[in-house]
């Protein structure tokens, strides 16, 4: 097995959904900024410690905790009503600018994970601002060039770039004008892009660096996904990602992939596991629908059997 998919992990973000920097009018933190924590608030770091400790305890069997750290908006600190308190705290803690503040936060969260005897995971943004611990696993979502940069530094990495299940052009995370950008006629055809996205091909990595690429992750933004759409979004292309990561680099025939994935899909449908659609024109007999309680036509019980005949 050339590459492996990780694992058991728990993921949450330390930047979103806190209210320490919100404006009083309007009350939503999403209007104020894109959700960064206030380091000058005495509650902030104890809450980070408590969340990480709780996650490590609740998910005791997980070896990893992902503390996120992507797309931190520095304008939140710059424009917050607490700006003066934040900059005073930065001066007291030798933090020169907001990039260093972002790095401070991500390092603190990762150190909290290590204290709880777990391995931290972060997004590549933490690495970019110099906030990734040496033992942290870096999630790469922008480009394979960033993957090469991370493993060149001696850190372990996990590739998400090219494997997002909700994108019409999964290789275009930077711009629709990038050379790799191909918008598919049907969104379902993105499985071809994912299948062709070998994590380490064409990166000229040494064997030692290639070994630092632990695998990949088929991710999906959840804003437009729920129990009704998960099968269609996730279970049609994720087998292509799995095959890419499990297969030898020489195995690239998309036509054979279609046959295997559609057979897998039909078996799942017949077993009632999946509601995903096919990759191409196909016929798959779905399972018979179980009748609902109010659809059952209840019949009277059968009469008792006749008594046995008398003995001769």
Q: Which of 132, 131, 193 is nearest to 157 (CA)?
A: 132
- Which tops the pLDDT comparison, 284 or 111? 111
In this prediction, residue 7 carries a pLDDT of 36
Mean pLDDT of 245-254: 91
- Per-residue pLDDT of 67-83, as tens digits, reads 988 888 888 898 888 99
Q: What percentage of the chain exceeds 70 in pLDDT?
A: 81
In this prediction, residue 50 carries a pLDDT of 95
Mean pLDDT of 131-146: 95
Reduce the DSSP state of residue 50 to 3 states and report it: helix
Average pLDDT along the chain: 82
Residues in the chain: 312
Q: Which residues pair with 215 in a beta bridge?
A: 158
Q: Which residue of the set 71, 84, 135, 145 is catalytic?
A: 71
In this prediction, residue 284 carries a pLDDT of 82
Q: Which of 135, 91, 94, 109 is nearest to 45 (CA)?
A: 109
Mean pLDDT of 100-107: 95
For the whole model, what pTM was predicted? Answer: 0.78
In this prediction, residue 295 carries a pLDDT of 53
- How far is residue 246's CA from residue 5's CA, in Å, rounded to a whole number? 8
Would you say 3 and 201 are in contact if contact means Cβ atoms under 8 Å apart? no
Q: Is 124 a catalytic residue?
A: no
Q: Which of 152, 156, 153 is nearest to 120 (CA)?
A: 156
Mean pLDDT of 179-207: 84
- Per-residue pLDDT of 14-56, as tens digits, reads 433 333 333 334 444 444 445 688 999 999 999 999 999 999 9
Q: Given a cut of 80, is residue 124 above it in pLDDT?
A: yes
The angle, 0 to 180 degrees and rounded to 10, between the axes of the packed helices 83-92 and 98-115 is: 70
Q: What percentage of the chain exceeds 90 in pLDDT?
A: 46
In this prediction, residue 171 carries a pLDDT of 78
Q: Any idea of the CA torsion for 24, 27, 33, 34, to the nearest 10 degrees? A: 150
| Paired tokens of 208 | 């030692």
Across 29-38, 230-239, 270-279, least confident range = 29-38
Would you say 151 and 209 are in contact if contact means Cβ atoms under 8 Å apart? yes
Confidence class of residue 169 from pLDDT cuts 50, 70 and 90? confident
Confidence class of residue 306 from pLDDT cuts 50, 70 and 90? confident
In this prediction, residue 183 carries a pLDDT of 73
Question: How far is the CA of 118 from the CAs of 15, 76, 109, 250, in angstroms?
Answer: 20, 30, 12, 35
DSSP letter (8 states) at residue 293? G
In this prediction, residue 289 carries a pLDDT of 63
Question: How far is the CA of 43 from the CAs of 48, 113, 209, 221, in angstroms?
Answer: 9, 18, 40, 30
Tell me the backbone φ, ψ of residue 55, rounded to 5 degrees. Answer: -60, -40
In this prediction, residue 23 carries a pLDDT of 37
Mean pLDDT of 110-120: 96
Reduce the DSSP state of residue 158 to 3 states and report it: strand
Given the DSSP bridges, would you call strands 119-123 and 213-216 parallel, antiparallel or unpaired?
unpaired
Read out DSSP for 197-265? --SSTTS---HHHHTTEEEE-----STT--TTTHHHHHTTTHHHHHHHHHS-TT---HHHHHHHHHHHH
In this prediction, residue 10 carries a pLDDT of 46
CA 175 vs. chain centroid, Å, equals: 21
């Amino acid at each position: 097995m050339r590459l492996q998919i990780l694992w058991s992990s728990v993921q949450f973000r330390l930047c979103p959904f806190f209210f320490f920097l919100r404006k009083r009018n309007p009350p939503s933190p999403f209007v104020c900024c894109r959700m960064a924590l206030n380091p000058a608030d005495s509650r902030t770091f104890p809450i980070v410690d408590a969340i990480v400790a709780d996650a490590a305890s609740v998910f005791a069997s997980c070896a990893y905790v992902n503390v996120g750290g992507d797309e931190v908006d520095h304008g939140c600190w710059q424009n917050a009503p607490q700006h003066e308190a934040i900059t005073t705290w930065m001066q007291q803690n030798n933090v020169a600018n907001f990039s260093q503040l972002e790095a401070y936060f991500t390092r603190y969260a990762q150190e909290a994970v290590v204290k709880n005897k777990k391995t931290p995971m972060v997004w590549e943004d933490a690495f970019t601002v110099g906030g990734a611990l040496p033992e942290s696993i870096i999630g790469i979502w922008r480009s394979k060039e960033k993957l090469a940069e991370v493993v060149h530094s001696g850190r372990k990495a996990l590739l998400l770039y090219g494997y997002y299940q909700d994108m019409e052009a999964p290789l275009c995370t930077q711009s629709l004008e990038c050379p790799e950008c191909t918008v598919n006629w049907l969104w379902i055809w993105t499985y071809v892009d994912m299948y062709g996205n070998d994590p380490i091909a064409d990166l000229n990595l040494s064997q030692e660096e290639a070994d630092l690429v632990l695998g990949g992750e088929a991710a999906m933004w959840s804003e437009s996904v729920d129990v009704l759409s998960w099968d269609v979004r996730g279970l049609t292309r994720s087998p292509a990602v799995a095959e890419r990561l499990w297969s030898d680099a020489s195995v690239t025939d998309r036509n054979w992939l279609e046959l295997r994935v559609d057979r897998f899909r039909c078996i799942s449908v017949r077993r009632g596991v999946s509601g995903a659609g096919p990759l191409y024109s196909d016929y798959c007999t779905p399972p018979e629908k179980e009748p609902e309680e109010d659809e059952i036509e209840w019949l009277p019980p059968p009469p008792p059997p006749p008594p046995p005949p008398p003995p001769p």
